[in-house]
Amino acid sequence: MRHALVTGATGFIGHHLVQRLIAQGTAVKCLVRSQARAVDLSQLDVTLVQGDLADVNSLAEAVKDVDVVYHLAGLTKSVGKGDLMKVNGDGTRNLSLACSQRSRPPILLFVSSLAAAGPSPGVEPRVETDEINPVSSYGRSKRAGELAVIDSADEVPATIVRPPIVIGEHDRDGFQWFKTIRKLGVHLAPGFEDVHYSMIHADDLAKALILAAEQGERVSRDDQDDGGIYYAASDEVMTYSELGHLIGGCFGRSRTRVVRLPMLMIWGAALSSDLWARLRKRPTILNVDKAREAAAGAWTCSAAKLRRHTGFVPSTSIEERIRQTADWYIDENWL
């Protein structure tokens, strides 16, 4: 039996990964900052270990007796960019250090982001050999996490996976799309240009992570731009408008009204939201950092390398996954 540690298990991607690992017979430990915040996990056949990415001693205890560490924990938004770097960059370095201190280090599977590489450099989807160009503080913090993993490559066997937009059950950020379209029949799209985005469902991403950990190549300090790094995405790409219409169709709407917001309005709203977040000391998904990403153009990537190396294939289409997610939101009374 394999033994795995999952950080970020209380998040919606973590939920899907833990479920898949349990189903395939893996003994799972979950790193949590507090037992009180892990009520859902306590209902599963997992072991909860308390710790924090800022505490190397707690991480050293957490990585004991495991074969693989799935590192999902991180911040996607924050009040200040320093927090992003502290958690996504420094926290990943601390975890790598804890793994390296084992006499037989576990495989470290780091879940990074397409944002760490940047938007598509042209009309073709981004591939692993393309030049790195993060445009947001979030992207730069995830890239810092990647470099921390690469720095430890001589001691810790590690693989990096970069997903694009992730959708699925339990997702609170993406839920806002479904909620607005269900209630108002309106979908907000940034800018007036139709740019394309790659997506992946959380369950398919979980499958990709397990395959990458088991069959993927490992990063090397001598090959930082390509070796051991994979994009994980569905084959389909779509615009924000197409996404809105697909979601609307899940609720029986023959037509969803797509409202295009000028980027000047997006920037203004993001600045106001950032100010409000600082006053409340609570981050929001609409912020200047996300506005930078929205203004950067297309965000597409190819999972061809992952498919060649591991045989990864999404279980079904993104359209079907969107319908599945909408049904879950309804069944769980989120809508």
| The pLDDT of residue 89 | 96
Phi, psi of 223 (to 5 degrees): -140, 70
Residue 279 has pLDDT above 80, yes or no: yes
The residue type at 238: M
Q: What is the DSSP letter of 303?
A: -
| The pLDDT of residue 40 | 79
Domain 3-169+198-236+298-315, what architecture? Answer: 3-Layer(aba) Sandwich (3.40)
Structure-block tokens of residue 280: 């409340």
Q: What is the mean pLDDT of residues 9-13?
A: 94
Residue 335 has pLDDT above 90, yes or no: no
Are the C-beta atoms of 209 and 161 separated by less than 8 Å?
A: yes
Higher-confidence position of 303 and 79:
303
Q: What is the DSSP letter of 220?
A: B
**Rounded percentage of the chain residues whose pLDDT exceeds 70:** 99
Higher-confidence position of 213 and 278:
213
| The pLDDT of residue 225 | 63
- Give the H or E element holding residue 326: helix 318-331
Phi, psi of 150 (to 5 degrees): -65, -40
* DSSP of 178-194: HHHHHHHSEEEEESSS-
50-92-74-218 Cα dihedral, nearest 10 degrees: -110
What is the C-alpha separation between 329 and 81, in angstroms, rounded? 32
Residue 236 has pLDDT above 80, yes or no: yes
Q: What is the mean pLDDT of residues 34-60?
A: 87
What is the C-alpha separation between 31 and 61, in angstroms, rounded? 10
Give the number of other CB atoms < 10 A from CB of residue 225: 12
* DSSP of 68-134: EEEE----S--SSHHHHIIIIIIHHHHHHHHHHTSSSPPEEEEE--GGGT-S-SSSSPB-TTSPP--
- As a 3-state breakdown, the chain gives helix, strand, coil percent values, each rounded to 5, of 45, 20, 40
Instruction: Give the N- to C-terminal CA distance of the chain in Å, as an integer.
Output: 40
How does residue 275 score in pLDDT terms, banded at 50, 70 and 90? confident
Least confident of 87-96, 149-158, 249-258, 314-323: 249-258
Alpha carbon 311 to its chain centroid, in Å, reads 21
pTM for this entry: 0.95
The tally of CA atoms less than 13 A away on the side-chain side of residue 237 is 18
Structure-block tokens of residue 52: 């924090």
Residue 166 has pLDDT above 80, yes or no: yes
| The pLDDT of residue 80 | 76
Could you give the 3-state DSSP secondary structure of residue 318?
A: helix
What is the C-alpha separation between 115 and 330, in angstroms, rounded? 30
Are the C-beta atoms of 195 and 293 separated by less than 8 Å?
A: no
How far CA 235 is from CA of 121, 123, 177, 314, 316, in Å, comes to 18, 15, 22, 8, 10
How does residue 222 score in pLDDT terms, banded at 50, 70 and 90? confident
Least confident of 129-138, 222-231, 249-258: 222-231
Domain boundaries, the chain: 3-169+198-236+298-315, 175-195+237-294
User: Nearest Cα to 18, choosing from 34, 38, 37?
Assistant: 38
* Dihedral (CA of 156, 162, 168, 174) sign: positive
Q: What is the mean pLDDT of residues 227-237?
A: 95
Are the C-beta atoms of 164 and 198 separated by less than 8 Å?
A: yes
User: Nearest Cα to 75, choosing from 62, 63, 89?
Assistant: 89
| The pLDDT of residue 308 | 97
Higher-confidence position of 43 and 250:
250
What is the C-alpha separation between 46 and 19, in angstroms, rounded? 10
